[in-house]
Amino acid sequence: MSSGEKKRILVIHGPNINMIGIREKGVYGTESFDSINERIKQEALQLDIDIEIFQSNHEGAIIDKIQQALGNVDGIVINPGAHTHYSIAIRDAVKGVNIPTVEVHLSNVHAREEFRAKSVIAPVCVGQISGFGGDSYLLGLRAINKKISE
């Protein structure tokens, strides 16, 4: 990326994230998926970055999207959903493309069931943000923007 070009960030929502605001409101809150995406777009405008938002319930589609990002984006913000805890394939994709990535979660995964505290993806990311609802994505955008600007 040459100076003067906008940074490009890919935001990936994993399985069931499209059901936010409908499912388990006590855990994930009442804000809708569309509202979160709109706030992501507004934050991108404020940060003067180009944003692409992608959601899939399928591990292979997420891997394909990460691989397609190589050479096309400067950073990734990903909420892998349940894949967080077991997808070595997504981990390998993130590690393989070597694009700075921030893992985000709506809920505080460390305050929930024990299995949710373990992420196989976080070790290949520059950081992890959890527990701030839809704001986790906005914090993730700010963090990745700062990281790729360094």
Provide the annotated active-site residues.
28, 105
The single-letter DSSP state of residue 92 is H
- Type of residue found at 57: N
Burial class (CB in 10 A: 0-12, 13-18, 19+), 27: exposed
C-alpha 81/C-alpha 145 separation (Å) is 22
The single-letter DSSP state of residue 103 is E
